[in-house]
Copies of this chain bind each other. A is one copy, B any other.
Amino acid sequence: MMPTKRHESVGGWMSGGGRDSDVVISSRVRLARNVAGHRFVNRASAEERRELADKLAEAATHLEAAPHMEYFDLTALDDTDRALLVERHLISREHADAEGPRGVAVGADETISIMVNEEDHLRMQVLHGGFELDDAWALMSRIDDEMEQHVPYAFESEYGYLTACPTNIGTGLRVSAMLHLPALAMTRELQRVFNAAAKIDFIVRGLYGEGTQGHGDFFQLSNQKTLGRSEEEVLDNLRVVIPQIVRYERKVRDAMVKEHPRQVADRIGRAYGILCNARMISSEEALHLLSQVRLGVNLGVIHGMDLTAANRLFILTRPAHLQKIEGRDLESNERDMVRADFLRKSLAGARMSPSDSANE
C-alpha cells in the first residue's frame, strides 16, 4: 500500500526552486545497470526476477548516500497507485504496466528513485528542481558507487555497462532537463531549440518521456547516445546548451512583454479566468492553461502564487492523483469535473494583476 497522504504533496524536486527555475522545471540523471551473472529481465525466469528483486530492494534501502528509502512492490499496488508513481516521475509507464516481480525504492522527498526489474535490473534516478545537474550527478555517482558494493555490475571493458537494450549500453546514462518554453512555443521558435539539441545528439520529448508529445509548452531534453561518449562529455553538452536555451527563452519572454504587453496579459488572463471558473476541464487543457499561469507568475502578471504552487498543480491534477484525492476510481468525464473543482480551489488565492498589460 502507498503511504496514504503521498498524493497530497509533491516531491522535493518540485517543491524546491533550484537555479533557473523560471525555465528549467527539473534536472534528471538516470543510470541503467544490470547485475553480473544474471540474465536480463526479459530473459530471466519469474523466480530469478523474484530473487533479484528481493536482493536489489534490500540493497536500495540500505544506502548511506540515499537514506530513508522506501521500497514498493509494484505487484502489491493497484493500478491507481502505480499510475500515481508514474505521474510523480518515480517510475516509467512501462514499469507500471509490466508484469512479474518488480518494484521501486523511493527516497523520502522523492529526489531518488531506484526501479528494480524495469527493462534493466536497476534504473536509478536522481531528480532535482531547477537546473541542478551537477548536484544530481554527484548524488547519482555516490549511489552508483555504493550500489556496486552490494551487487557486481555487468560490465565489459570494450562496451562499458551492459544493458538489455543497445540504446543504453556504454555509460547507461540518460541526462535530461524538463523545460518550460511558453515564449519560444508562442513565437514558433522551438525549431531552433530542437536543432541545437540535435547538434549535440540530444532529443526533445514531452512531459512524460518517450512517445509523449510536448504538451502545454513543456519539453524534455535528453541525450540519445550512451556509447562512445563519456559521462562528462554528455554532462558538459547539457551544461552548455541548457543555459543557451534558458537565455533564449528569457529573451523572447522579455521581448514579448516589451512589444506585446497587452497580448501577453490577455493570454495569461484568459487562461487564469478559465481555470478559476470552468466546471469541467481535461488533463490536456489544464496543462495548456497552467503553462500560461506559470508564465504569468514568472512575469508578475499573476500574484498570490509562486512557481512551486504552479508546478504542484501540474502533478496534482493528473488522473491518478485526482482519484487518490477523491478516494475512488473516476471515469474520464468525472475526472474532468474533479479536476476543475480542484483547480478552482487551488487557485482561490491567486489573482491577476490589476494592470491592463504585462509590463506595468
Chain A residues within 8 Å of B, Cβ to Cβ? 262-263, 265-266, 269-270, 272-280, 337, 340-341, 352, 356-357
Contact = CB atoms under 8 A, between A and B. Distances in A.
B277 A272 contact: yes
A269 B262 contact: no
Contact of A266 (B262, B266, B270, B340): B340
Q: Is the interface of A mostly helix, strand, loop or mixed?
A: helix
Contacts of A279: 262-263, 265-266, 269, 356-357
Nearest to A301: B279
Contacts of A356: 279, 337, 340-341
A212 to B, nearest CB: 27
A341 B262 CA distance: 11
Contacts of A276: 273, 277
Contacts of A265: 279
Contacts of A357: 279
Given A269-B278, A273-B278, 9 more contacts: A263-B279, A266-B279, A266-B340, A269-B279, A272-B273, A273-B274, A277-B352, A337-B356, A340-B356
Contacts of A337: 262, 356
Nearest to A275: B273
Nearest to A276: B273
> Copy number of this protein in the oligomer?
2
A298 to B, nearest CB: 17
A278 B280 CA distance: 20
A149 B243 CA distance: 86
A69 to B, nearest CB: 40
A273 B269 CA distance: 9
Contacts of A277: 269-270, 272-273, 276, 352
Contacts of A273: 270, 272-278
A353 B296 CA distance: 26
A39 B337 CA distance: 67
A101 B163 CA distance: 91
Contacts of A274: 270, 273-274
A270 B262 contact: no
A60 to B, nearest CB: 43
13 contacts: A262-B337, A263-B280, A266-B280, A266-B340, A269-B277, A269-B278, A269-B279, A270-B274, A270-B277, A270-B278, A273-B273, A274-B274, A279-B357
A304 to B, nearest CB: 14
Choose among A278, A279, A356 the residue with the greatest number of B CB atoms under 10 Å from its CB: A279
A279 B357 CA distance: 7
A280 B337 CA distance: 28
A277 to B, nearest CB: 3
Contacts of A270: 273-274, 277-278
A337 B263 CA distance: 10
Nearest to A271: B277
Closest 5 pairs between A and B when the two form their complex, measured CB to CB: A273-B273, A273-B277, A269-B277, A266-B279, A265-B279
Nearest to A262: B279
A278 B267 CA distance: 7
A278 B352 CA distance: 10
Contacts of A272: 273, 277
Contacts of A278: 266, 269-270, 273
A357 B264 CA distance: 31
Nearest to A281: B266
